[in-house]
Structure 1
Amino acid sequence: MDRLDAMRAFVTVVSEGSFTRAAERLELSPQLASKYVAQLEQHLGVRLLNRTTRTLHLTEAGTYYQQRAQEVLHDIEDMEHQLGDLQTQARGRLRISAPVSFAIRHLAPLLSEFQRAHPAVGIDLQLNDRKVDIVEEGFDIALRIGHLKSSSLIAKRIAPVRLVMCASPAYLKQHGTPRHPEDLKAHRYLRYSYMEQEAGESVLRWLPGRGQHQSGEMVSNNGDVLIEAAIAGAGIALQPTFISSAAIKAGKLRVILPEHEPEPMSLYAVYAHRQLLASKVRCFVDFLDGYFGDPPYWDQFD
């Protein structure tokens, strides 16, 4: 008995719901498909399927084995595909979703260098701070910032994302510099619309008026707008250093409450499947890895 053939036959019988349809898909006779499953059960010493004249039902052991066997077969296919990719040039259109401010400030050089290395890959970059549905909206990969929750998507960490509270020297001179998070209640806070869904409780627990609309507040779904407003003296902003570092280095903004700096978030490359990953996606993820430095170049203040 070829164990892989038997495993493949069993998984296909379960997915197709019958030996006849599984045999057609595998281009085998129904008798041989049935023989493979019977040999597999004999080899394992357990019954995997309960058969009637019309239906098939997985046993408890069969349910467990089917899940693990599917993973093994996927891993084998993935390995073979990766070996094939060594001989295949990345090509085709790569659809990428990325956060607006990060893409505008930091992606253009990367994409240019990537295309020089992989000239057969075209780029379709769509900017949006909301979390797109990669599968439904047809993206190959999405760059996301935050603390990602577990999901069926594959996520590779690319870089840390540091958050700082900052305000202009003029604003701090007029309104005073907060010495403790409680002092923020007396200040104007420039609120980023998506912060609560991205940053998590560790970041948000001490922000003023969280989850509430405050009189005279400024809210935006774009971090660049809030940083420019902070530079103009409109209030205090909590934003990533990949947006704010240039203004901080130039003295246009000052970091406040550095001892209460939130736990860093991360930039992730997110894609739908690990198995049979297209060369263009794998090459792009590999290109991202380490590109921004450690720490990232925007956090190198000295």
Structure 2
Amino acid sequence: MDYLNDMALFVEVVKTRNFRRAAAVLRMPNSTLSRRIALLEEGIGLRLLNRTTRKIELTEAGQLYYERCSRIVDEARIAYEELGDMVAQPTGVLKVSLPVDFATTYVAPLLPEFAALYPGISFDFDLTPRNVDLVGEPFDLAIRMRAPENVTLISRVITRISAQFYAAPEYLQVNGEPSKPADLEQHQCLTMPTMPSWPVHSAAGTADPKVESRFRVNSVSMIRKLAVLGMGITFLPERIVADDVAAGRLQRILPDWQGAAQPIYAVTETRLLPAKTQRFIDFVKERLREAN
């Protein structure tokens, strides 16, 4: 594609009508510029410029070539400037796949500020637990609770979230309150199918109680609701249950114990991202730096 670069050099030479002035504008040696134009003429097979000691003049072929090239070079310049504007003020539709509970609890409160900062961006959110195909489906980004198994995808940690133990007062009145993590094995524990145990730590050490329940649910919202209804103990991040705790529907138990901070990932197909996607990732990461 060197001929495209040489085309731009040729246009600058014609505009200045002088190799030395054109070389100064292009910030390259005059000898290099002269050699590149000569190679361009050699590649085309026609002389484009008549050179004299005082000036240069276009040949008939050179005039035709200049008329075509100048439009191409101008279009390339405009495209470059427009892309620069997009980086400064991103536009377009941002399509994101993310889990519904993370979206409603953590992302939704951030959207008014982000939307005001970037009015040119519109949003298409797909709230689903499934792992969308970032290669085969038209998504800019996926937010996931686990790192992708596909090693060709690019994942970035945007925040870390830890969980604590909660239960409804009604449940504790009937079943008693556990005094240590091992006691959880004697309780109804509302958990996801992917979490057969709840590894936790405190100043006293670590524990990894196995948990059992009549209910295994792949929805954080339903687990929270079942806990409020007194169906068992749950292990969720504080922000998820904050309203229920404030209203007295849930209370924290085993307060000295909590889960390890689990990373949340922004997953993309490539490292080279459109400005709209990069700005969104950076914004969410900054706002959720201290998420829980």
TM-score computed with the length of structure 1 as normaliser:
0.60
1:185–1:201 Cα change, 3 Å: closer
The answer on 1:255 being equivalent to 2:252 is yes
The answer on 1:226 being equivalent to 2:220 is no
1:180–1:219 Cα change, 3 Å: same
| Alpha-carbon contact 2:107-2:284 (below 8 Å) kept | no
Q: Could you say which residue in structure 2 is the equivalent of 1:282?
A: 278
1:174–1:205 Cα change, 3 Å: same
The answer on 1:206 being equivalent to 2:209 is yes
Gaps (5+ residues) in structure 1? 1-81
Gaps (5+ residues) in structure 2? 1-79, 202-206
Structure 1 residue 130, shift from structure 2 partner: 3.0
Q: Could you say which residue in structure 1 is the equivalent of 2:174?
A: 174
Percent sequence identity over aligned pairs: 31
Give distance in 1, aligned partners of 2:145 and 2:246.
Answer: 23
Structure 2 matches for 1:69-108, cutoff 5 A? 86-88=84-86, 89-108=89-108
The answer on 1:295 being equivalent to 2:290 is yes
Where 2:256 maps in the other structure, the secondary structure is helix
Summarize deviations over 1:108-151 as a string: whole Å, max 9, x none.
33233322222222211000123333222321111122466783
Structure 1 residue 188, shift from structure 2 partner: 0.9
The answer on 1:125 being equivalent to 2:125 is yes
Give distance in 1, aligned partners of 2:194 and 2:125.
Answer: 21
Give distance in 1, aligned partners of 2:136 and 2:152.
Answer: 14
Structure 1 residue 99, shift from structure 2 partner: 1.0
| Alpha-carbon contact 1:102-1:242 (below 8 Å) kept | no
The one of 235, 259, 270 equivalent to 1:273 is 270
Q: Which amino acid aligns with 1:291?
A: R
Summarize deviations over 1:157-201 as a string: whole Å, max 9, x none.
2222121121111211211111222211221111223446xx997
1:110–1:104 Cα change, 3 Å: same
1:84–1:253 Cα change, 3 Å: same
Where 1:259 maps in the other structure, the secondary structure is coil
| Alpha-carbon contact 1:184-1:208 (below 8 Å) kept | yes
Give distance in 1, aligned partners of 2:98 and 2:181.
Answer: 31
Give distance in 1, aligned partners of 2:267 and 2:198.
Answer: 19
Q: Could you say which residue in structure 2 is the equivalent of 1:45?
A: none
Give distance in 1, aligned partners of 2:251 and 2:130.
Answer: 28
1:222–1:273 Cα change, 3 Å: same
TM-score computed with the length of structure 2 as normaliser:
0.62
Where 1:134 maps in the other structure, the secondary structure is coil
Give distance in 1, aligned partners of 2:173 and 2:136.
Answer: 50
Which runs of structure 1 show a deviation greater than 3 angstroms over 4 or more consecutive aligned residues?
Answer: 82-87, 146-150, 193-196, 199-205
Where 1:219 maps in the other structure, the secondary structure is coil
Where 2:266 maps in the other structure, the secondary structure is strand
1:200–1:259 Cα change, 3 Å: closer
Structure 1 residue 243, shift from structure 2 partner: 1.2
Where 1:220 maps in the other structure, the secondary structure is coil
Structure 1 residue 91, shift from structure 2 partner: 1.8
Where 2:287 maps in the other structure, the secondary structure is coil
Structure 1 residue 202, shift from structure 2 partner: 6.9
Q: Which amino acid aligns with 1:219?
A: R
| Alpha-carbon contact 2:200-2:258 (below 8 Å) kept | no
1:85–1:259 Cα change, 3 Å: farther
Where 1:192 maps in the other structure, the secondary structure is coil
Q: Could you say which residue in structure 1 is the equivalent of 2:144?
A: 144
Q: Could you say which residue in structure 2 is the equivalent of 1:57?
A: none
1:259–1:132 Cα change, 3 Å: farther
Q: Which amino acid aligns with 2:209?
A: W
1:207–1:240 Cα change, 3 Å: farther
Q: Which amino acid aligns with 1:272?
A: E
